[in-house]
């Protein structure tokens, strides 16, 4: 059985820091986007750019990267 998820994935340098997974439904997407936005802000993300980061599913600063991905 496959479970569709939306994931918030953090890298620093070439190292995986964390993966947080949520169900790929309306509620799970809302939670994942909230988590992504919170983590991006904690790592220097500009609030005014957040809609762009969320649309792209990507935020980067220096050697830090944050992804919002879907998987099945």
- pLDDT tens digits for range 11-43: 999 899 999 999 999 999 999 999 999 999 999
Place of tokens 């957040």: 50
Is the whole-model pTM more than 0.75? yes
For 72, the 3-state DSSP assignment is: coil
Q: Quote the DSSP letter at residue 24.
A: S
Q: Are 32 and 7 in contact (CB under 8 A)?
A: yes
- Classify residue 43 as exposed, middle or buried by CB count within 10 Å of its CB (0-12, 13-18, 19+): middle
């Amino acid at each position: 059985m496959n479970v569709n998820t939306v994931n918030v994935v953090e890298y620093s340098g070439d190292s995986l820091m964390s993966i947080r997974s949520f169900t790929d439904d309306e509620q799970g997407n809302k939670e994942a986007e909230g988590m992504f936005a919170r983590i991006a802000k904690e790592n220097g993300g500009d609030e005014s750019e957040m809609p762009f980061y969320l649309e792209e599913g990507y935020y980067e600063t220096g050697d830090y990267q944050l992804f919002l991905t879907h998987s099945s």
